[in-house]
Amino acid sequence: MEQMRKLPIGIQTFEKLREESYLYVDKTAIIYQIVSGSILYFLSRPRRFGKSLLISTFEAYFEGRKELFEGLAIEKLETRWEQYPVLHLDLNAEKYDTKEALEHMLSRSLSLWEERWGSDVAEISLSARFSGIIRRAYERTGKQAVVLIDEYDKPLLQAILNEPLLDEYRRILKAFYGVLKSSDRYLRFVFLTGVTKFAQASVFSDLNQLNDISMKPAYATLCGITKEELVDTFGIEIEALGNKNGLTFDETVHRLASLYDGYHFEESAEGVFNPFSLLNVFDSCKFDNYWFQTGTPTYLVDLLKQSDYDLRLLVAGVEVTASAFSEYRAEANNPLPMIYQSGYLTIKGYDREVRLYTLRFPNDEVRYGFLNFLVPFYTRVTDDETGFHIAKFMRELRAGDVDAFMERLKLFFAGIPYDLSDNTERHYQAIFYIVFTLMGQFVETEVRSARSRADAVVKTRDAIYVFEFKLDGKRLVKVGVNFSKETRNVDRYIMEE
């Protein structure tokens, strides 16, 4: 068996990736465009999309590590390879459950920098120390400093439903990040990454010169892998995956696209694949929901429940303006920005005339993984039980056993505690939507518009099942109509109450 090449699963350091000959999708042409542009940048991308590796790549570039970029696009673009003092702050690895925890983490990073660039006893606050470090780094080297901040919003996300603590974090980080404006003369380059962008009025209010490239077309493929990059870089892995699963090369690419492609970070931009899922499917040679196995943030479910958001909108897709999903505002009671920026919805269409975006699940991995994740929070059916029931649902309808199907459906509702349901039609419709959408993994299903009734259509090889669900207690009349292809007219109909 041919030896598989080294896949950079979990590798977040550019130096390690290059020195140990891991596969690398070359993004350095875009990186060169960024470092040649403005000074302060911000990029929002979902977790596991390569933000930390991107920050590490910037670090290697500004340290003048030319040898690490041999053979890459930037080698032909850059001629100077200057070395700058780099301040790299990673907020991703800590748990921030108190104000003191955040302050301690920032202080620890400042202390490490002060060991190299010196300190001043007059600098007491976190922001004063940060400002002093940037200035001394410039004075001692004669080169402006580079500041790289990875996952700037991690403390904010951990406190998102704790308003007093969230306010404390906003206050601390606003002052800390505000140093980047007052230190402008000493800065060569600043790049911040995060999952979500909190409203301008909170953390970034002092950084009015910040260039947010999260939805700009030139940078839409900076994180993620395009179809062309997939085929060019991972041709050997695609072939091995196809051989393992009895698929041709093209069939394998199509299957990969349906599961892991479809992320659009700008309305006209090319879609990209989830890099974490791709690397893992190549490593295991098995199609699975890898992104979800790393853990879905429970704060998303809490936000959904707290805001009473209609889950059917997530299934059917939602049309919104850019302001409705580009920034998160806690006071707006709108979970959509967090859902979009966390990677569970993406841009699937844009009406230029009225400037409305259509947001939907990017692919099957997210669609089915997210809905499976939601079921235990809206019923008392566990993750394992959900998969079992969905498989049984599919088999029962294929066998034409509607009675068994309906009895199993009752199990989904029998265990719903009173505290999980407001006893409204919408709550039960949402559960029906989840169940029938999950069945779409195995049989063709359709659910009606989220703004209409919670009807569902299931198509098997031998039959079409039409479901309509009512909670209002009105008289229910069922009419079934068969249309003849031969006569091109109604052949027969039946009606019953």
pLDDT tens digits, 382-424 = 777 888 888 898 899 889 898 898 888 877 777 665 554 455 5
Q: Give the start-to-end residue ranges of the domains of the chain.
A: 14-219, 227-293, 298-467
Query: pLDDT tens per residue, the chain (497 residues)?
Result: 455 699 999 999 999 999 999 999 999 999 999 999 888 999 999 989 999 999 999 999 999 999 999 999 999 999 999 999 999 999 987 889 999 999 999 999 999 999 999 999 999 999 999 999 999 999 999 999 999 999 999 998 888 888 899 889 999 999 999 999 999 999 999 999 998 887 654 677 777 778 999 999 999 999 999 999 999 999 999 999 999 999 999 999 999 999 999 999 999 999 999 999 999 999 999 999 898 776 666 777 777 777 777 777 777 789 999 988 888 776 657 888 888 988 999 999 999 999 999 999 999 999 988 888 877 777 777 777 888 888 898 899 889 898 898 888 877 777 665 554 455 566 666 777 788 888 888 777 776 644 455 467 888 888 888 877 666 666 767 776 676 667 765 677 777 76
CB atoms within 10 A of CB 487: 8
CATH of domain 14-219: 3.40.50
Q: What is the pTM of this model?
A: 0.87
pLDDT tens digits, 270-321 = 999 999 999 999 999 999 989 877 666 677 777 777 777 777 777 778 999 9
CA distances 489 to 117, 354, 485, 486, 493, Å, are 85, 40, 7, 8, 11
